Each structure stands twice: as structure tokens, then as C-alpha cells.
């Protein structure tokens, strides 16, 4: 951690699961590696009875640390949404840094993004301690009901123009804090309901094309 450079003109903040990846890798992993805890907790999470901040660690901490390498291996094979690498090229050319925000675990996100690490400014996610028999989750960016409170990270970048990319309810609060929003799936529907402006996307080519034309 330590001090992070935050004085940029423009910063892109992107969600990871269902945004950079095609699938919801984190919930698939929880179902595969913690089937009983997931079956018990997911309905309570969806009904809002418990928060992500409580529920996600409760599921993860039933997983033996010895299984973590297998989880990372799954993540190394996760499919990325089309156009991600050319999108990184666009950002490099334009000097726009990318911050990836995820309510998953940093080591899992990094297992997928390792080939692109030098082109990503920062990954903000929860941490895992593997020294005990079971996973232990900590999150320096937990706030409110969220394991990773995304708008809090956007605030660190002060006056920078903030471009947000996301797909889900957990991206809604950061979308409200963004100057320009790219949305798909549930996030797009939620922004429609609130009559908020956004640009619809399905692939990263859509986003690159928009940035090349309008930025």
C-alpha cells in the first residue's frame, strides 16, 4: 500500500467481475469451493438480510487455505471481455491510468490480470491471509455495507475527471460519483430507472471507440 499517486487529469475506474471478465468469477468460485456456505448465505445476501461486508468473508472463511492455489488456477483461465487488451493500448496511448476495483480478493484478481499488471495503475480489492487452516479476509477499503467501498477510492483522486465502467448494483454508488459512465447489464438498468446518463457497452471495443471519438 503506502502512498499512491492520485493527481491525474483523468482516471478510469473499472469493476472486475462481469466487467473485465465475461463471467461472475467470484461468485462461481464461492459456489465451487464453498458450496454449503454459499447455499446458506447467498439468499440472505440477495434479500439484504446481511451485507456483502459480512456475508462474503463468512463464505470465504469456510474455504481451506490449501485450496487457494486451485482458486488462483481457475482465475488464470478466466475469460476476459472482448477488446480488453486493445483498450489498455488506447489508455497507454492517451496517458489515462486504469484503477481496477473489485469486491473480490486481490490475489484472485491478480491471477487473472497478471499479464497486464504493468499497464494497470492500481488494483483495489480485499486481502486474504493464507497462514491459517482457512482463508482469513481483511479489507482496508471496507466501509458502509461494502467489503470494498468503491466511491471512497474515487474520492482519493480529488479533482481528476472520473470515468467509471461497471455492470452491477455494487457499481451504482461509484457510477453516481463518475463524470462519464460506461454500463452494461444490471447497472445499465439501474441507471435507466434513475434517468442517469451513461454509455452502454458490451465489449471494450465499444469503450475504446467512444474514448477515441469523444475524449
Residue 47's contacts (CB-CB under 8 Å, 6 or more residues apart) are none
- Tell the smallest beta-carbon distance from residue 8 to Mg ion (Å): 23
- Tell the smallest beta-carbon distance from residue 167 to Mg ion (Å): 4
Placement of cell 497462514 in the chain: 131
First-residue to last-residue Cα distance in the chain: 31
Backbone angles phi, psi at 204, to 5 degrees: -70, -15
Placement of cell 480488453 in the chain: 84
- Tell the smallest beta-carbon distance from residue 109 to Mg ion (Å): 11
Closest CA to 119 of 201, 204, 203, 23: 204
- Tell the smallest beta-carbon distance from residue 153 to Mg ion (Å): 15
Backbone angles phi, psi at 186, to 5 degrees: -60, -40
Binding site for Mg ion (CB under 5 A): 15, 17-19, 167-168
Residue 10 vs 102, nearer CB to Mg ion: 102
Residue 67 vs 82, nearer CB to Mg ion: 82
Specify which residues 10 forms β-bridges with.
161
Specify which residues 13 forms β-bridges with.
99, 164
Residue 23 vs 155, nearer CB to Mg ion: 23
- Tell the smallest beta-carbon distance from residue 82 to Mg ion (Å): 16
Closest chain position to Mg ion (CB):
18
Residue 27 vs 209, nearer CB to Mg ion: 27
Residue 19 vs 125, nearer CB to Mg ion: 19
Amino acid at each position: 500500500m503506502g502512498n499512491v499517486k492520485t493527481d491525474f487529469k483523468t482516471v478510469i475506474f473499472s469493476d472486475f467481475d462481469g466487467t473485465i471478465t465475461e463471467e461472475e468469477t467470484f461468485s462461481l468460485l464461492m459456489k465451487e469451493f464453498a458450496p454449503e456456505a454459499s447455499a446458506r448465505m447467498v439468499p440472505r445476501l440477495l434479500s439484504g438480510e446481511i451485507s456483502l461486508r459480512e456475508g462474503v468473508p463468512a463464505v470465504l472463511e469456510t474455504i481451506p487455505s490449501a485450496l487457494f492455489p486451485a482458486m488462483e488456477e481457475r482465475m488464470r483461465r478466466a475469460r476476459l471481455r472482448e477488446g480488453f487488451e486493445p483498450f489498455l493500448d488506447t489508455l497507454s496511448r492517451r496517458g489515462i491510468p486504469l484503477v481496477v476495483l473489485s469486491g473480490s480478493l486481490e490475489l484472485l484478481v491478480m491471477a487473472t490480470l497478471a499479464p497486464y499488471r504493468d499497464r494497470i495503475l492500481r488494483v483495489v480489492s480485499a486481502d486474504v491471509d493464507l497462514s491459517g487452516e482457512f482463508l482469513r479476509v481483511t479489507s482496508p477499503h471496507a466501509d458502509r455495507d461494502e467489503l470494498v467501498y468503491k466511491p471512497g477510492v474515487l474520492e482519493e483522486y480529488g479533482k481528476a475527471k472520473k470515468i467509471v465502467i461497471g455492470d452491477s448494483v455494487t457499481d451504482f454508488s461509484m457510477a453516481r460519483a463518475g463524470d462519464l459512465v460506461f454500463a452494461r447489464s444490471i447497472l445499465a438498468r439501474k441507471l435507466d430507472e434513475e434517468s442517469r446518463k451513461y454509455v452502454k457497452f458490451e465489449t471494450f471495443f465499444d469503450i475504446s471507440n467512444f474514448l477515441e471519438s469523444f475524449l
